[in-house]
Amino acid sequence: MFFGDAFAGSLDNLLSTHPPLVERIKRIDASFDGTFPKVKPVPAAEVGGTMETPAAAEEIRPGADQQRTAADEFRTAAEKRRRAPGAKTLLLDPTGMAGRIGLPGAAQIVFASALLEAMSGPVRDASHEPYSARAVIYALLLNREEEMRQKQLADLKSRVEELSYRETVQMAAEVDRLAEEARLPLVDVTLPALKRLSPDQYGAFRDTVEALVAADGKMDLFEYVVQAVLLNNLDLHFERTKPPAVRYSALTPLVGPLGTVLSALAYAGQESPAEAQRALDQAAGTLGKAMTLLPGEECGLPAFDAALKELAQGSPQVKKRVLTAAAACISADGKVTVKEGELFRVIAEMLGCPMPPLTGEVHA
């Protein structure tokens, strides 16, 4: 999601989610002495590239004024969205969406900085510290229905330290005010801090997350997203799991799982089966294959998750085709709901492809 230190300069403080560069290098190479030698730049003509002009550099490094403007606009829009009924959608040009995987541009960086600046100070600060970042995740997982929330809090109190419990309760009020599309970016912000937990601390944290999700006996989309994005990343970091091995170099053996994933995406953003079929047809067009929309009960979250785990065993070329088809599916009607965006993010994450935030004007 590119919520780390992307560029030097004006974004350093706003997007600082990692230790200093020297410390990061020393963790990899203990012999590094912290010195960065001066080097002579290679002329662009020698490498067949184009030298970046100062004007071009200014275009891709948004300054403080641009960040403040974006943040102000985002906060205003977010407040309107919280008051407006109905599903929220991102109106955007989906062209090349899959091609931006791992390559955030200026729009994504400004949008990311605006999302972070729109969050309250306590939430931002807490998300950067391992101890407090756990409370941020716990607060995000609290049910909006009061009776179920109290049940979750009672269980949480029996599992965590008193300070962590109090911090979660305090954080819950701040998290409840977040715009819907800011929840997943907040999860991303906590990742660097949570990676600094000890293995035992992570084990306890992981158990608590799963208990909060299981409290009501069912899993909603956001709970699934948190588990898929957060725990998938952390399990790899703490070596509880390994990246899936490549088993498929062609798409043909994966048509079944792909149909499940694309059907789920089609239902997520469309209001009728006919519209969902049209979205699926657009996705199928990128693959050169005809596909039939599965019944809704055959592409719920358990089936969606199992299908993604199969697709994750595809080669990079196969994964690219999957992401291209998924992007075509969610953008079939020219708009992307928050639900569609979160599902697309999960697909990219499970396939091992970092996804910058979708940007655009959000409407109710």
Of residues 43 and 357, the one with the higher pLDDT is: 357
Please write down the HEC assignment for all residues of 136-203: HHHHHCCCCCHHHHHHHHHHHHHHCCHHHHHHHHHHHHHHHCCCHHHHHHHHHHHHHHHCCCCHHHHH
Q: How confident is the model at residue 3 (pLDDT cuts 50, 70, 90)?
A: very low
- Sign of the Cα torsion 234, 235, 240, 244 reads negative
What confidence score (pLDDT) does residue 334 get? 86
| Beta pairing, strands 89-91 & 335-337 | antiparallel
Report whether pLDDT(148) > 70.
Answer: yes
Mean pLDDT value across residues 340-344 = 89
What confidence score (pLDDT) does residue 341 get? 86
CA torsion, ordered 133, 136, 141, 143, to nearest 10 deg? 160
Identify the architecture of domain 252-363 in CATH: Orthogonal Bundle (1.10)
Report whether pLDDT(248) > 80.
Answer: yes
Quick: pLDDT tens for 149-185: 999 999 999 999 999 999 999 999 999 988 888 888 8
What is d(CA 358, CA 345) in angstroms, rounded to the nearest whole number? 9
User: Under 8 Å CB-to-CB from 308, ≥6 apart: which residues?
Assistant: 228, 257, 261, 346, 347, 350, 351
pTM for this structure?
0.70
Query: Average pLDDT, whole number, for the chain?
Result: 78
What is d(CA 112, CA 158) in angstroms, rounded to the nearest whole number? 36
Could you tell me the residue ranges of all domains in the chain?
121-237, 252-363
- What's 19's DSSP letter? -
Mean pLDDT value across residues 28-56 = 51
What confidence score (pLDDT) does residue 41 get? 55
What is d(CA 307, CA 302) in angstroms, rounded to the nearest whole number? 9
